[in-house]
Each structure stands twice: as structure tokens, then as C-alpha cells.
A and B are shown apart, each in its own frame.
Chain A
Amino acid sequence: MSSPPAKLRVQPDDESPAILPDELITEVLSHADVKSLMQMRCVSKTWDAMISDPKFVKLHLKRASRNPSLTLFLSKSRIDGDNNVVPFPVSCLIENPMITLPNDPYFRLRDKECRYVIGSCNGWLCLLGYSSIGAYRQIWLRFWNPAMHKMTEKLGYIWDNILGLYTHFKFAFGYDELSETYKVVLLILDEARNRTNVQILSLGDDMWRSIQSFPAVPLPFRYSNPGVNDVVYLNGSLNWLALRDSFRSIGVYGWKNVNVKEFVIISLDLGTETYRQLMPPCGFDEMSPVEPSICVLKDCLCFSNDYKRTDFVIWKMEVFGVEESWTQLFRISYQNLQSMHLDFVDLQYSQWLPLHLSDHGDTLILANKQERQAILYNLRDNRAVRTRITDDIQWFSAKVHVESLVSDILKPQVHQP
């Protein structure tokens, strides 16, 4: 008897229970988690092929993006850079703000010879490590998909004068849909000329390439570690909030002297490798002592600033690239962000960073620079709840991360017809 074409399931006989047709099996599997899917590759040869098919990987990624995690960065020891990064589902965090993070050695960065997380894209984390040799530091990158237990070798080596890393470099990681490759961008701040030089590395290539520089300097200028959120990846572009001039005049108390008009968003298209400048919302017309920032909420570029030290305002660019489409998304008074537990910290003067907005738009996760805990802000009843996690998490480094089946980011992501 000739064998039927390979199918995801066999023809049932009349007594067998309800059998799902192939399209429905694919639908169900696209909702499954990566670990289960890796097991299910053992179900049959056809299932093995289907689960590793690029079209299925893309479908699964789309579904997984609706249920993201935040990479929680813990510093176990500041001295020898013993850091952990734990992807934690946002839905679990919202449901129960009091969590204990697993103390699993799997999440140790030191074992991977790295210290920080630069970014997350399509399930892959870009890690950074370095070692000092005399007056110089050798820096490298490494890519890790925690769900798939896959990791690349160290790559993208660069050398840096030992004083350089924290104040003069910024890294960013994203995916270029045009060439179907993952790219890392290195910004080298030229403070003296108020410019930023740009180098780019396409994963799979050996060398960094220089591309056009831009006449602005991205924020923040001084920060505690390279893993801090200072870039926004959106729709194949990397975006930084930057200042055109006055870089030199910014001291510790100098923000008030900055002209609001000097802020600009530099948007680098990863496909064309050219940048354009986007203006912040025109409603942002008054400077305050607190630094503004950009982030992504609900797949839109957002800009947030302090307003007269009474409110925290978040704007949304409804249509990416269209400056007229900036609309005010939320205006949250600092009073509402204070919880019943009174802190000695004067929250109005510290920086806030929105991390994630829940699917139904009712819970906003916010980080505050001064606080060890993040805030879950309920937008319906204007109530703030603090997370209660005993670990010391650096919330300003938390990246939005999804589980993915993308198995190899060093090769062009070929799509089968």
C-alpha cells in the first residue's frame, strides 16, 4: 500500500476521538511555550520539520509578543561583576507583585563571560562583557536565547581605553527586516564636537563598519552601567533621545538651563543605515530638573517627561515618524504614584521610566531611579502598587523580552516560499 503524503496526523478510523486538522494543530502549537515545542519536535518527523519551519517560528513569535517578559537584572556583587538576568513574565508580575526570583545558575552572566544586557530582540539577548589588559579594555558581545538554551560564541571584539566605556560608548541591538539580519550599533560619543560617531556590526560579518555620524549626543550622559535602557528598538529602527547642543553646559544641576528645543530623537533605520531626526511632542515646552526619556509602549514610540514637578506625562507617537501624531497618553500625578508606604525619597525629583503597558491598557509598569521596587500603576482607579521582591533589581535596565524559536541569528533569516 502506498504511503500517504506526510501529514501532521494520520487518517482516523470511525471510532477514534475528534481529530484536529493540520491547520488547527499549527494554531494550537503557535500558542505553546518554547520548552514544550522543543519536546514536541520528538512527536514525529513532520512535527520536527514544522516546528523549525521559519514561517511557524514567525507565527509563534507574533503570538509570544502578546505575552512578554521583563529581563530582571540583579547585581549579586558589584566588585567582580557577578550579575544575573532573569526573564520574568509581565503577566505574572502584574498578578502577583511579590515574587521570589529563582536562584538558578542558568541565569548567571559571569558563567557566560559577560556582565550586562544591552538589548533584547526576537527572543535573543545581546550580552556585553569585557576584560582589562593594562590601560586598555577588550569588549565583546555574546548572544543568548534563554528559552532555547542557545548561545553564540563571543564576537564583535573592540578595544577601548580604560576610561572610555561608561561615558563614551553606547550599544544597541535590533533586527533589520530588509536584509533579514541582526545588527548591533556602537555609538561613540565625541563630546568635544557635539557629535556621535556610529559603527555597525551585522551578525555573521566579522567586522564593525563605520556609518554616517550624527550631530547630537544621546542621553543619558553619565550612567551606572552599559545595560541601562537608553535606546528604543521599534519597527526596524533604533531610536535615541539626544541633545543637539549645550552638552558641555550640562552639569549635575544644569538641566534647567537646557533649551527644550534642543532635544531631538535620532532614529536610525537599520535597513538603509541612515538616520533622521524626530522632534519630541510640542506639548513638551518647559524644561524641568528631571531628564525626559523615550520608551516603547504598545508598539508605539513614547516620550515621557516631568511636568512642573507635579505630574509625570507620557506621550505617544500614534504614527511612527509623523511628528504631528504625538498625543498625550497619560498624565499621572506624583501623588498617585506615592503608595501608602512613605519613603524618604522625594519622588518628584527623581527619574521615572515606563517599562510596559498591559494588553488591556489598564496597568502601567514604571521604574523609578531612586527606588528598588517597580510600581504597578492601575490606570482605571489611579492606584499604585509596589512590587515586593527581596532581590536588588536594577529596574532601569529591564528589557522587554519574548520567548522565541529563532534558533540561529548569525545567518540571514531565510524565509521559505
Chain B
Amino acid sequence: MAQEASSSTSSKTISLKTGDGEIFEIEASAAKQMKTVQRLIDDLGDDITIPLHNVFSKELPKIIEYYKKDITGEITKDFEAEFVKDLNDDEVKVLFLAANYLDANKLFEFLSQNIADRLESKSVEYVRKYFGVENDFTPEEESKLREERAWSFRGIKEDE
């Protein structure tokens, strides 16, 4: 059978354009891991620059870095720890939203866990602010609940 050059060989790179107009390159095999990107490639072809309106130049390089490691099978616990080490809680949130938009499952799962881990020792007030939730308990209702579950409130760090 004639060997036809396939348009999805692993050495091919795809150009991605962020919402703020910057262009980044990614290997086709890494792009495959982001289902949104792959769908756009399937629709628009892999020769044009794929527009990603909801991802910005702050996040995309980080995501590319993650999937570069993923395609070589090098994602370890140490790598993941290092990957999020210098990100603050808001930066992780934005990255998580980007991973969701890109339908990048592995990164999405990892960041879900990371955000959950970060919230482990945070106060209820912090969690409300972080997710933008309004407290609709009355002060009496809330103090009653806290009393009932006093055991779960031991060991909270001071909000940073």
C-alpha cells in the first residue's frame, strides 16, 4: 500500500493563537490530548493557526509545558508538584478554567485535585471568596452548624 504522508504525524507542529493575539507552537501529538484543539483541527485543518479565544498568553505556555511532558510519558509526582509550586490559588483557578475549555482531561483532573488540596486548610470565608459564593445562613444557623461539626474545624491555617 502506498505510503501517503499523513497529516497527523507526530513531528508536525500546530500553531495556536491565544485570545490576546499571541501565537504558540505545539506538537500535533500533544494537541491531540486537548480535545477542543483537536476538534478545531479536524474542522479547520492543521495548516492554519487555531484560534483559542478563551485561553490567554499567561496560561497557554504552562499548558503546553504540561503536555510536552505527557507525550514523553514523563509526568511524575515530582513534576506535578513542581508545576504548581509557584502558582497562587487564583492562577491555578484560571489554569483550571483553561484546561476545561481545552478539554484537556489529564491536566483538568490534576488541577481539580490540586485546588481541592489547597482548600483543605482554608477557612469557610476564604472558600466563599474564592468561588464567589454568598453566605445565606443566618449567624445563628451558621454557628449551630459549626458547633455540630466542631471536629471538622480543628487545624485551620490563618488566611493569607
Q: Are B116 and A28 in contact (CB under 8 A)?
A: yes
Q: Which of B96, B137, B149, B152 has the most CB of A within 10 A?
A: B152
Is B47's CB within 8 Å of the partner chain A? no
Q: Are A19 and B100 in contact (CB under 8 A)?
A: no
CB under 8 Å from chain B, chain A span 10-28 = 10, 12, 16-20, 24-25, 27-28
A30 CA to B112 CA, complexed, in Å: 9
Residues of A contacting B135 with CB < 8 Å? 43-44
Residues of A contacting B133 with CB < 8 Å? 8-10, 43-44, 47
Of A34-42, A187-195, A366-374, the one touching chain B: A34-42
CB under 8 Å from chain B, chain A span 32-58 = 32-33, 35-36, 38-48
- Of all chain B residues, which has the CB nearest A22? B131
Q: Are A20 and B152 in contact (CB under 8 A)?
A: no
Is B82's CB within 8 Å of the partner chain A? no
Residues of A contacting B119 with CB < 8 Å? 28, 32, 36, 40
**Contact partner of B146 among A32, A42, A46, CB < 8 A?**
A42
Task: Classify the interface of chain A: helix, strand, loop or mixed.
Answer: loop
A16 CA to B135 CA, complexed, in Å: 17
- Of all chain B residues, which has the CB nearest A39? B152
Is A198's CB within 8 Å of the partner chain B? no
Q: Are A17 and B90 in contact (CB under 8 A)?
A: yes
Is A151's CB within 8 Å of the partner chain B? no
Residues of A contacting B64 with CB < 8 Å? none
- Of all chain B residues, which has the CB nearest A67? B113
Residues of B contacting A25 with CB < 8 Å? 131
**Contact partner of B97 among A8, A18, A32, A39, CB < 8 A?**
A18
Residues of B contacting A20 with CB < 8 Å? 93, 96-97, 131
Q: Are A12 and B145 in contact (CB under 8 A)?
A: no
Interface size on A, residues (CB 8 A): 32
Residues of A contacting B117 with CB < 8 Å? 31
Min CB–CB distance A21 → chain B (angstroms): 9
Is A29's CB within 8 Å of the partner chain B? yes
Min CB–CB distance B78 → chain A (angstroms): 11
CB under 8 Å from chain A, chain B span 130-154 = 131-137, 142, 145-146, 149, 151-153
Residues of A contacting B149 with CB < 8 Å? 38-39, 41-42
- Of all chain B residues, which has the CB nearest A45? B136
Q: Encode B93-110 as 1/0 by CB contact (under 8 A) with A.
A: 110110010000000000
Residues of B contacting A41 with CB < 8 Å? 145, 149
Q: Are B137 and A36 in contact (CB under 8 A)?
A: no
Is B62's CB within 8 Å of the partner chain A? no
Residues of A contacting B97 with CB < 8 Å? 18, 20, 24
Is B20's CB within 8 Å of the partner chain A? no
**Contact partner of A42 among B93, B94, B131, B137, CB < 8 A?**
B137
A389 CA to B15 CA, complexed, in Å: 53
- Of all chain B residues, which has the CB nearest A16? B132
**Contact partner of B152 among A17, A27, A29, A35, CB < 8 A?**
A35
**Contact partner of B112 among A18, A31, A43, CB < 8 A?**
A31
**Contact partner of B132 among A19, A24, A47, CB < 8 A?**
A19
**Contact partner of A31 among B90, B94, B116, B128, CB < 8 A?**
B116
Is B120's CB within 8 Å of the partner chain A? yes
Is B87's CB within 8 Å of the partner chain A? no
Q: Which of B96, B127, B145, B151 has the most CB of A within 10 A?
A: B127
Q: Are B120 and A33 in contact (CB under 8 A)?
A: yes
**Contact partner of A28 among B90, B115, B128, B132, CB < 8 A?**
B115
**Contact partner of A39 among B93, B112, B132, B153, CB < 8 A?**
B153
Residues of B contacting A45 with CB < 8 Å? 136-137
Q: Are B136 and A40 in contact (CB under 8 A)?
A: no
Is A341's CB within 8 Å of the partner chain B? no
* Residue positions of B touching A, CB distance < 8 A: 90, 93-94, 96-97, 100, 112-113, 115-117, 119-120, 124, 127-128, 131-137, 142, 145-146, 149, 151-153
25 contacts between A and B (CB under 8 A): A8-B133, A9-B133, A10-B133, A18-B97, A19-B132, A20-B93, A24-B100, A25-B131, A30-B112, A31-B113, A31-B117, A32-B119, A32-B120, A33-B116, A33-B120, A36-B152, A38-B152, A40-B124, A42-B137, A42-B146, A42-B149, A44-B128, A44-B135, A44-B136, A149-B151
* Residue positions of A touching B, CB distance < 8 A: 8-10, 12, 16-20, 24-25, 27-33, 35-36, 38-48, 149
Besides the known contacts A20-B97, A28-B115, A29-B116, 17 further A-B residue pairs in the complex with CB atoms under 8 A apart: A8-B131, A9-B132, A10-B133, A17-B90, A18-B90, A20-B131, A24-B96, A38-B149, A38-B152, A40-B124, A41-B149, A43-B127, A43-B128, A44-B128, A44-B133, A44-B135, A149-B152
